[in-house]
Amino acid sequence: MTAATTRYALLGLLTAGERTGYELRAEAEASVGHFWREGYGRIYPNLRRLADEGLVITRTEPGRGGPERHLHRLTEAGWRELRDWLRRPVASGPPPRDELLLKLFLGRHADPGEGIALLHARRDLVAASLDRYREIAHALENEPEPDRTHWRITVRHGELLAQAALAWCDESIGALERLETREEPA
């Protein structure tokens, strides 16, 4: 299994050109932030490893204020490794663990109102993320091909899944409300 996917995320981000660790994090946040996040705790050690393995070369520039800038660039081997990875079947992710579902599953031990509250909270989050996906989708219209198609695919994933999650929240809230009125007869 051994995902070690951070390596590949970094290689992927470096296809855009030479970057510092700091820049990689910021760009990850901005471009793939909705389905991928990296923190410094993973970025710096992994960049070091990639350099050790020769997939990346590091060039040092004097820092403009603050520490030196370490600029990383893909080597030929790095490009090969990335292309190779892109071709390999996707490793099955970690087993699912959805805390909300677990709580709802155990709903018989709680008041139905509590489940409804949890669902409303989730609904708000999902609705907000749906808005963001739609904004991104809109901004993407100006992007030239082939990136537009590829990027659009990832955004549409968020959009479609968020829509479904929203529908699920509404349906589930309705179901719990019906339970509630049935259990506490007027």
- What character string, x for contact with DNA (CB under 7 A) and - otherwise, covers 60-99? ---xxxxxxxx-----------------------xx-x--
CA distance 126 to 142: 26
- The answer to whether the beta carbons of residues 155 and 36 sit under 8 Å apart is no
Q: Closest CB to a copy of itself among 127 and 160?
A: 160
C-alpha dihedral (82, 86, 88, 93), degrees to nearest 10: 100
Mapped onto helix, strand or coil, the DSSP state of residue 74 is: strand
Residue 53 binds to DNA (criterion: CB under 7 A)? no
Rule CB under 8 A: say whether 73 interacts with a copy of itself.
no
Q: Which of residues 161-180 bind a copy of itself (CB under 8 A)?
A: 161, 163-165, 167-168, 171-172, 175-176, 178-179
Residue 128 touches which member of a copy of itself, DNA, none, C-beta under 5-8 Å by kind:
none
Rounded CA separation 37/69 (Å): 22
Among 44, 58, 107, 134, binds a copy of itself (CB under 8 A): 107
| Number of shown-chain residues binding a copy of itself (CB under 8 A) | 69
Site string for a copy of itself, 10-39 (x = CB under 8 A): --x--x---------------xx-xxxx--
| Core vs surface per residue 85-104: b (16+ CB within 10 A) or e | eeeeeeeeeeeeeeeeeeeb
Cα separation, 8 vs 67, whole angstroms: 26
Q: Tell me the closest approach of the beta carbon of residue 116 to DNA, in angstroms.
A: 26
Q: Applying CB under 8 A, does 72 fall inside the site for a copy of itself? A: no
Whole-number Å distance between alpha carbons of 128 and 148 = 23
One-letter identity of residue 108: R
Amino acid at 16: A
Minimum Å gap between C-beta 65 and a copy of itself is: 30
Locate 156 and state its tokens: 């549409």
Check residue 36 for interaction with DNA (CB under 7 A): no
Which residue ranges make up the site for DNA (CB under 7 A)?
1-6, 20-23, 26, 37-42, 44-45, 47-48, 63-70, 94-95, 97
